[in-house]
Chain A
């Protein structure tokens, strides 16, 4: 069974600094996507960035980038120039065809605090 592990329950970063959130996963599938979602206090799940397993190039979205290490099954999120609005829960997620279900499997989350 596929699993997603986030080993950092909470992280803090100073405003304008850079922070990296860790995620590892376990799968025997070859075709899958990985995601980072942001969940602010409103509870809305906001897609931050996604990475296709077949793409070697790391995905980047403005201040957000990933370090995808397929062999190590590692998928970390780097947030540059952190802003107060980045404070939220961050969830790493995995998605594969999984017999046609395409369901997401989420980690337990990392709470990011941004210090002014």
Chain B
């Protein structure tokens, strides 16, 4: 069973371009979380999705950021019109069930650099 797969591992975008980050959860996992890690900081929650539904987006910036988790295919975190401050590592985690004793597994992250 492959782990959580994120791609690309590294992404460079010019200011104003769009960034699309993909996350394929572990097989059988229908719950996905996205986190952002700014340099020298911890991971900050952005959004929680189940298949075809956004459950909690309280950590997402109100503008330019969106996320989806379609019935088929990976979860996508989309950042429009990127700015330098969006440079960070973006992590995805997935879990099988929503229970406290069910572990969430993390991908290796995508490092976004905005130039």
Secondary structure dominating the interface of B: strand
Question: How many angstroms between the C-alpha atoms of A4 and B8 in the bound complex?
Answer: 30
Q: Using Cβ atoms and an 8 Å threshold, which residues of chain A touch B93? A: 45, 104
Question: How many angstroms between the C-alpha atoms of A1 and B44 in the bound complex?
Answer: 14
Pick 30 A–B contacts, CB within 8 A, sort by A: A4-B42, A33-B100, A33-B101, A43-B89, A43-B108, A44-B108, A45-B43, A45-B93, A50-B103, A52-B101, A91-B43, A97-B100, A101-B48, A101-B55, A102-B98, A102-B99, A102-B104, A103-B45, A103-B48, A104-B35, A104-B45, A104-B104, A105-B45, A106-B35, A107-B42, A108-B41, A108-B42, A109-B40, A109-B41, A109-B42
Q: A33-B101, A47-B103, A108-B41 are in contact. List 15 more A-B contacts (CB 8 A).
A: A6-B42, A31-B100, A32-B100, A43-B89, A43-B109, A43-B111, A100-B55, A101-B48, A102-B48, A102-B104, A104-B93, A105-B45, A106-B43, A106-B44, A109-B40
